[in-house]
A and B are shown apart, each in its own frame.
Chain A
Amino acid sequence: MKSREYQQIDPKALPTPTQSPPSHQHQAVGDDGRTPRRKWEVFPGKNRFFCDGRIMMARQSGVFPLTLGLILVTSGLFFIFDCPFLVKHLTSCIPAIGGVLFVFVLITLLQTSFTDPGILPRATPEEAADIERQIDDTGNASYRPPPRTKEVLINQQVIKLKYCFTCKMFRPPRTSHCSLCDNCVERFDHHCPWVGNCVGKRNYRFFYTFIVSLSFLTAFIFGCVTTHLALRAKGGKGLMFALQESPVELAICFFSVWSILGLSGFHTYLVASNLTTNEDIKGSWSGKSGEAVTNPYSHKNIFINCCSVLCVPMPPSLIDRRGFLPADEPAQTSGVDLELPNPSTKSDINVVGGSSHLVLDLQKSSADFSLFLNQTKPAALPA
């Protein structure tokens, strides 16, 4: 099994910066020699940036164009074919409600896809060295691979914090490393290919609003199309003839309504119990190991749980995409200089599909720990 190589930190290679002056004084210049470079240009994760760092997505956009296309096509067909008929025979509120729902869905989808999900920036070389140095306190200033986990007590429960070898830090609780984006994401829920981004602390509320409003929209369109067909069939020509006129819309709505309603219901349960998809799938708090474990993050009250997930003040983006790079600071490297051949070698991949909830959960064995290479660089270790 291919393991992640541990790269020993060479203390001589650590930068000894004079405290970097305010960033607008000395900036790393871009290719044209004039424009200063921004931090997003050297971001080590697998992300794509647009509008000079204002918008970001995962590098693999997944089926995001398909999601957008389906929503636009279905809504377009609804407005073009069903609305005129229903306005004439029922009420003109129908396109109004449909319009509001459609705009809501579109805005929340774009916000989910384009927002930083809560990516944790990688540790600076000095921080990483500090963590590794702390382990060995017999007086020897040597740098060894840190232990894989560290335990903390949260609400009288022992939680294991894992060390992330890519980001060179102990992950905070509920943080997980997404292999598709190669980033540690806070309160990691899942990587959603339908929106082409991870769902984490900062964009979970957008994601939840998106799927709830999408359920309303698809249910609404489905209801309107059914009413339209029923009225037409009553008009004398028969149901089969009426069905032939709008098959596409009906098919899309019929199949998506159940899956999206199901997904909304699932996430409502998660919000009410303050759980993430990641924790639910792994069964972190269901007591599988036999011990009496409960979710230490739950407030034991559905209303407070919902508020703490959806109404907490919006946390800031920690990666400072649009900040300028100081000229003397080396760009944060990707830590371990490995080309990961394919994501399946990484531990924990959670990809949740829309209707079928596909989950691939590959756990690396702890035997990998023994495969760490001691020295990959020719630099000498300190005494």
Chain B
Amino acid sequence: MSTTIDMPGSSKAAKAGKPVLVTTPSRPGGWKKGVAIMDFILRLGAIAAALGAAATMGLSDQTLPFFTQFFQFEASYDSFTTFQFFVITMALVAGYLVLSLPLSIVAVVRPHAAGPRLFLIILDTVFLTLATASGASAASIVYLAHNGNQDTNWIAICNQFGDFCAQTSGAVVSSLVAVLVFVLLIVMSALVLGKKH
């Protein structure tokens, strides 16, 4: 049993000699679509890492159980300007990653479009720099807190504030995970841009 589809409109147009509008089907995504999906998933992971870093650092606080007549021994992220910078910057990075999710979805839907990819790679580079700067500066302070420095007579406060030290170290590690994910995202975007087809 065969079905025939009668299309009177197109035959009329062909007879009149006018051009018939034919929409070409979009090319199959192939590996570019796979890379774009991977990009989206990695972005979700990076959001978790950046938010975790900001939250862990922001909630770091330790009060020692002993105190003198004049002050109580307390350490919080507030005491260190670098850590304040870290919390704000990581929150910014997490905000950017959330806002870049729609762009990433556009890149999944249209794997061969260069516009979204270019935009993503440039913004990713800028925020990679920001995340690296905040993570590394906090890491140097954490290193100092663990080891101290004999020449400048800076004491390693980790010996006293153990909990605070553990929290800040964890936050720094989480931010470095976010940096690693950024690096992967940029590498993938570069590979996708580099292929002509």
Query: Are A and B interaction partners?
Result: no
